[in-house]
Structure 1
Amino acid sequence: MSLLVINARLITIPTGSDDPGYIERGWMRVEDGRIAGIGAGDPGDATADEVLDVDGAFVAPGFVSSHSHLFTSGLRGLGVADTLYGWCDSMLGMTAHATPEDVYWSTLHGALDFLGNGVTTAYNFTDPQQAWESMVDGKRVGDAPLRGTEYHTRQADGCLDSGIRFVDSIGMDVTAGTDDEIFARFEASVAHTRAMDPDFALGASIMGQVQWSPRPEAAEIEVEAMRRFGVTNQAHFLESPEAVPLQQSKFALYRDAGALGEGMMFGHFIQTTPEIIEQAAAGGASMSWQPASNGRLASGTALVPEMIAMGMKVGIGLDDQACTDVSDPWQNMRMGIAMQRARTKDPLSMMPELVLRLHTLGSAEIMGVADRVGSLEVGKFADFVVVDPRRPDVGPLWHPVRSYVLSMSLRNLLGVYVGGELVSRAGESTNPLAAEASARIHADLPAVAERRGRHPH
């Protein structure tokens, strides 16, 4: 099947350039789910099975979230008076009592929510097999029970069934079992993901848990798994303003284990020092920035411009629906701009063109999937959003790309396409499972609360 998009304000985000690749009146041809041609003006002799005339609307890459927890979609509004660990007690204290089917439907609901809001690819942290337990002195005891491999695999199934593209991030839970058992458990989860359609399951990764693990060998085990199974790793690291010296001391565990390379991502990376940033950047590690989440949880503001200046690659994630509440990438970008400018007192420290690149191609780059997603370029998947600046009308587009970042919102989002196929129209999913996913989380999550014996607040 082929699709021809015409009369578009194209924003392409080309690889290897700081230019946003804006074309005032452009066209794009899609064939078998991938971009086959792109250009300015009239497409000439180009033909297709279907023509989509967007009549002057923006057509831009689908957003890429480099840090997400899609299973949290039914847990919004919790832990509002708490920082990270208290919020986790409220939110993950619920999922500690969830079943594989509960978490399947929650993940499916979360992935459909992302798609409806223009996010076509996500790095997805699955809820680990080892249930959540409260932090004590900045770490977990690590003796909570395991819930079985199916608890992970059903979350991967939920992503696949939604139609989102995803990197599947899996916790190793290194305090549960012998080392052989830990590696065997992880291998089984990776094998499940790699058996899926590779056009959607874009890869497997480790949910780095060194930050809160009581086991001193946790970093070595994760690095061994990276090498043995050929996977990347993203660690929640230096996020919370609590127990900062303890958090910072654990950076050496990753450094000394040889983790600091292109496959290593640090999520949040807020409570840093100049030395930590310098060593991480020099080693080739990247970071994922979650502006809305960092503000909601009172975590702080990452030194993103400084990291970029030191050569560190940066992507942007929406994090949990439970800590961004509305998974809106435009809100996320604007909060990032505002937070950095307020911190630096310099408007040039975060410009709209940069933050857009970070939430698309930049995220794809740190996830290792930029050859397939993150920009509108020939050969890549045709994942794009259609955004109309006249519905509602925002006035003259003096600088179209900056207006796209600063003035657009979910109310302007007309359609979301994955592989050239419409997956959401004005926020309404085309997925046949959408209604059931909504019904299930409204029924199942109160049942989880009942099993828990108390309201999540």
Structure 2
Amino acid sequence: MDLLVINARLITVPAGTDDPGYIERGWMRVEDGRIVALGAGDPPATAAGEVLDVAGAFVAPGFVSSHSHLFTSGLRGLGVADTLYGWCDSMLGMTAHATAEDIYWSTLHGALDFLANGVTTAYNFTDPLQAWESMVDGRREGTAPLREPAYHTRQADGCLDAGIRFVDSIGMDATAGTDEEIFARFEAAVAHTRAMDPAYALGASIMGQVQWSPRPDAAEIEVEAMRRFGVTNQAHFLESPEAVPLQQSKFRMYADAGALGPDMMFGHFIQTTPEIIAEAAAGGASMSWQPASNGRLASGVALVPEMIERGMKVGMGLDDQACTDVSDPWQNMRMGIVMQRARTKDPLSMMPERVLRLHTLGSAEIMGVADRVGSLEVGKYADFVVVDPRRPDVGPLWHPVRSYVLACGLRNLTRVYVGGELVSEGGVSTNPRAAEASARLHDSLPRVAERLGRHPH
């Protein structure tokens, strides 16, 4: 379907500049799901299938979450008194007993929740085939039995059926089986994702597990998979405030294995040292920043301005609904701003324009998908949000982009589009599976909890 958007306060976030690309009264033309033209003032007089007059509302890129766990959508409010590993026990202790169909509906629900909140692309960590085990001395035993392969593939199916664009992040479960069995299992999962519609399944990646793996060669296994199958890698790394020296010592495993490069992302990357930041930046690795999650789990504050100063590329993620509770990208941006300013006592350390770029194009860049998403530019997918600063009224727009970041939010989000198609209006999904996803989620997860004797009621 062709679409012409008019009378928009356009925020384009173009590549190659720090300018947010603001156009006070702009237009954008969409054909076959992609942006074919945009500009200021009135559009050229050509035919259009549908005209969307946003009457002065903001039109901005859909948010990109560079670190997400969409299967956790039914697990909000758990582990509130815990840091990372205790919270994982409370949450993943339940999904350890979920079925492939349970996890499908949970993922679908989570993806629809992201879309309703303006997040149109996600790097999605799937729940691994090997169920969660409690951490002991900073590692897992890695002895839990494997679940059926469908447990992973149904999570990818849930993303596709929701209509969110995603990079599928797959755990290698490197303690289960021989090395060739591990590679074969991973290859099959990658093949399933790559057989999907490439407009939505944007790529496959490794869920890096060196942080908690008992294998001393876990980094080498991951690097071999990166090279053998042409995939990226994002590792949860240096996140929790516990056992920091042990965590930091594992950085050498990735460095010595040759992992540092543009295909290597570090998720969280909080408990760093100047030397670790310098080496990661010099090697070309990037990081994904989750301020709302880091605050919720008392993990700390990542040294993001210092990393950017060193030349590291940085994206932003919402992590998961179980540790941000409301998957709100505006809340995430504002938390990022206030955390950094409180830490540095310097307002210039994190400005609204920068944090908006990190949560859109910056995330797309570290995920390797910036040629398709992350900004409103000709040739890219027409993934955008419509945000009305008069519903409710946020007051005069003295600096429109700063008001968009600081004063707007989910209350102002009226519509979300993916590929020029309306996917959510007023927070209500247009997806025909949405009602069933909600019903299934409310039915299946409490039954799992009751079997475990952990139901909160």
Normalising by the smaller structure, the TM-score range is over 0.9
Corresponding residue number in structure 2 for 1:140: 140
1:302-313 residue pairs with structure 2 within 5 A? 302-313=302-313
Corresponding residue number in structure 2 for 1:315: 315
| 2: CA distance, partners of 1:253 / 1:281 | 16
Matched, 1:369 2:347: no
| 1: CA distance, partners of 2:91 / 2:234 | 21
1:64-213 residue pairs with structure 2 within 5 A? 64-213=64-213
Tell me, yes or no, if the aligned pair for 1:91 and 1:456 is still in contact at 8 Å: no
Matched, 1:348 2:348: yes
Tell me, yes or no, if the aligned pair for 1:78 and 1:456 is still in contact at 8 Å: no
| 2: CA distance, partners of 1:427 / 1:408 | 15
- Once the two structures are TM-superposed, the CA of residue 148 in structure 1 deviates from its matched residue by 1.8
Tell me, yes or no, if the aligned pair for 1:14 and 1:376 is still in contact at 8 Å: yes
Matched, 1:408 2:408: yes
SS in 1 for 2:39: strand
- Deviations, residues 90-131 of structure 1 (Å, cap 9, x unaligned): 000000000000000000000000000000000000000000
Which has the larger displacement, 133-142 or 343-352?
Answer: 133-142
5+ long unaligned stretches in structure 2? none
Corresponding residue number in structure 2 for 1:257: 257
Corresponding residue number in structure 1 for 2:227: 227
- Once the two structures are TM-superposed, the CA of residue 30 in structure 1 deviates from its matched residue by 0.1
What is the number of equivalent residue pairs in this alignment? 457
| 2: CA distance, partners of 1:46 / 1:167 | 36
Matched, 1:282 2:282: yes
| 2: CA distance, partners of 1:353 / 1:111 | 26
The residue type paired with residue 446 of structure 2 is P
- Deviations, residues 293-341 of structure 1 (Å, cap 9, x unaligned): 0000000000000000000000000001000000000000000000000
Corresponding residue number in structure 1 for 2:443: 443
SS in 1 for 2:211: helix
- Once the two structures are TM-superposed, the CA of residue 9 in structure 1 deviates from its matched residue by 0.0
Corresponding residue number in structure 2 for 1:36: 36
Tell me, yes or no, if the aligned pair for 1:97 and 1:451 is still in contact at 8 Å: no
| 2: CA distance, partners of 1:87 / 1:405 | 30
Corresponding residue number in structure 1 for 2:50: 50
| 2: CA distance, partners of 1:165 / 1:47 | 29
| 2: CA distance, partners of 1:82 / 1:300 | 14
| 1: CA distance, partners of 2:46 / 2:8 | 15
| 2: CA distance, partners of 1:87 / 1:219 | 25
The residue type paired with residue 9 of structure 1 is R
1:391-402 residue pairs with structure 2 within 5 A? 391-402=391-402
| 1: CA distance, partners of 2:394 / 2:136 | 49
SS in 2 for 1:210: coil
- The normalised TM-score by structure 1 is 0.99
| 2: CA distance, partners of 1:271 / 1:222 | 22
- Once the two structures are TM-superposed, the CA of residue 456 in structure 1 deviates from its matched residue by 6.6
- Once the two structures are TM-superposed, the CA of residue 347 in structure 1 deviates from its matched residue by 0.1
| 1: CA distance, partners of 2:182 / 2:40 | 53
- The normalised TM-score by structure 2 is 0.99
- Deviations, residues 131-156 of structure 1 (Å, cap 9, x unaligned): 00000111111101110211000000
Aligned-residue CA RMSD in angstroms? 0.7
The residue type paired with residue 359 of structure 1 is H
Corresponding residue number in structure 1 for 2:388: 388
5+ long unaligned stretches in structure 1? none
- Deviations, residues 229-281 of structure 1 (Å, cap 9, x unaligned): 00000000000000101100000000000000000000000000000000000
- Once the two structures are TM-superposed, the CA of residue 42 in structure 1 deviates from its matched residue by 0.4
SS in 1 for 2:241: coil
| 2: CA distance, partners of 1:67 / 1:200 | 17
Tell me, yes or no, if the aligned pair for 1:66 and 1:363 is still in contact at 8 Å: yes
| 2: CA distance, partners of 1:227 / 1:47 | 48
SS in 1 for 2:140: coil
SS in 1 for 2:142: coil
- Deviations, residues 365-396 of structure 1 (Å, cap 9, x unaligned): 00000000000000000000000000000110
The residue type paired with residue 374 of structure 2 is G
| 2: CA distance, partners of 1:405 / 1:241 | 30
Tell me, yes or no, if the aligned pair for 1:90 and 1:456 is still in contact at 8 Å: no
- Once the two structures are TM-superposed, the CA of residue 447 in structure 1 deviates from its matched residue by 1.1
SS in 1 for 2:156: helix
- Once the two structures are TM-superposed, the CA of residue 452 in structure 1 deviates from its matched residue by 2.2
Corresponding residue number in structure 1 for 2:294: 294
| 1: CA distance, partners of 2:138 / 2:171 | 19
SS in 2 for 1:211: coil
The residue type paired with residue 119 of structure 1 is V
Which has the larger displacement, 300-309 or 46-55?
Answer: 46-55
Corresponding residue number in structure 1 for 2:240: 240
- Once the two structures are TM-superposed, the CA of residue 45 in structure 1 deviates from its matched residue by 1.1
- Once the two structures are TM-superposed, the CA of residue 46 in structure 1 deviates from its matched residue by 3.0
- Deviations, residues 198-235 of structure 1 (Å, cap 9, x unaligned): 00000000000000001001000000000000000000
Corresponding residue number in structure 2 for 1:428: 428
Tell me, yes or no, if the aligned pair for 1:4 and 1:47 is still in contact at 8 Å: no
SS in 2 for 1:37: strand
Give the share of equivalent positions with the same residue, in percent. Answer: 87
Corresponding residue number in structure 1 for 2:16: 16
Which has the larger displacement, 388-397 or 142-151?
Answer: 142-151
| 2: CA distance, partners of 1:11 / 1:93 | 42
